[in-house]
Structure 1
Amino acid sequence: MTKLVLISRDYDMSHLVPSILRAAPELDVAVHGSRDAADADVAVCWNPPEGAVAALPKLRLVHSIAAGVDNILCDPSLPRVPLCRVVDPQHARGMSEFVTWGVLHFHRQIDRVMENQRNGVWLRYDQQAPSTCSVGVMGLGEIGSRVAGDLHRLGFAVRGWARRAKDLAGIETFAGAQGLEPFLRGTDILVCLLPLTDETRAILGARTLAMLPRGAKLIHVGRGEHLVPCALLSALKEERLTGAIVDVFPNEPLPASDPFWSAPNMIVTPHMASVASSDTIGMQVAQNVRRLVNGEPLLNVIDVARGY
Structure 2
Amino acid sequence: MTLLVHLGGIDEQEWADAFQAKMPDLKIVTSSDAFDPAEIKYLYVWKPRDDVFDGLDNLEAIFSLGAGVDPILKHPHLPKNVPITRFVDETLTQCMSDYVIANVTMHHRELTHYRHEQRQHFWTQYYPAPATDIAVGVMGLGQLGLDAAQKLTMLGYQVNGWSRRPKEIEGVTSFSGDAGFDQFLAATDILVNLLPLTSDTRDILNRRTFEKLRRDVMPHGPVMINAARGGHQDEDDVVACLNDGTLGAASLDVFKTEPLPKDSPLWDLDNCYITPHIAAISSFEGGVELVARQIESYERDGTLQHVVDPAQGY
Give the structure-1-normalised TM-score: 0.90
The 1-side partners of 2:36 and 2:284 are apart by 21
- Give the Å deviation of 1:95: 1.9
Q: Which amino acid aligns with 1:17?
A: A
- Return closer, same or farther for 1:178/1:296 CA change in 2, 3 Å cut-off: closer
Matching residue of 1:27: 26
Query: Superposed, which structure 2 residues align to 1:178-193 within 5 Å?
Result: 178-193=179-194
Matching residue of 2:103: 102
Q: Of 252, 256, 259, which residue of structure 2 is paired with 1:253?
A: 259
- Return closer, same or farther for 1:15/1:116 CA change in 2, 3 Å cut-off: farther
Corresponding position: 1:262 with 2:268 = yes
- Return closer, same or farther for 1:260/1:20 CA change in 2, 3 Å cut-off: farther
Runs of 4+ off more than 6 Å: none
- Give the Å deviation of 1:67: 1.7
8 Å CA contact 2:42, 2:63 repeated in 1: yes
Matching residue of 2:245: 239
- Return closer, same or farther for 1:63/1:37 CA change in 2, 3 Å cut-off: farther
Matching residue of 1:67: 67
- Give the Å deviation of 1:31: 2.6
The 2-side partners of 1:140 and 1:3 are apart by 35
Matching residue of 2:177: 176
| SS across alignment from 1:174 | strand
8 Å CA contact 2:92, 2:283 repeated in 1: no
Q: Which amino acid aligns with 1:94?
A: C
Corresponding position: 1:279 with 2:281 = no
- Return closer, same or farther for 1:28/1:112 CA change in 2, 3 Å cut-off: same
Identity of aligned residues (%): 35
**1:96-147 alpha-carbon deviations (Å, 9 max, x no partner):** 2211111100011011112223333333321321112111111122332222
The 2-side partners of 1:263 and 1:12 are apart by 35
Q: Which amino acid aligns with 1:19?
A: A
8 Å CA contact 1:54, 1:78 repeated in 2: no
Matching residue of 1:219: 225
- Give the Å deviation of 1:236: 1.0
Give the structure-2-normalised TM-score: 0.89
The 1-side partners of 2:106 and 2:179 are apart by 31
- Give the Å deviation of 1:272: 2.0
| SS across alignment from 2:175 | strand
Question: How many residues get paired?
Answer: 307
The 2-side partners of 1:114 and 1:100 are apart by 19
Gaps of 5+ in 2: 216-220
Instruction: Calculate the aligned-residue CA RMSD, in Å.
Output: 2.2
**1:204-227 alpha-carbon deviations (Å, 9 max, x no partner):** 122212222451101112222211
The 2-side partners of 1:28 and 1:266 are apart by 47
- Return closer, same or farther for 1:50/1:119 CA change in 2, 3 Å cut-off: farther
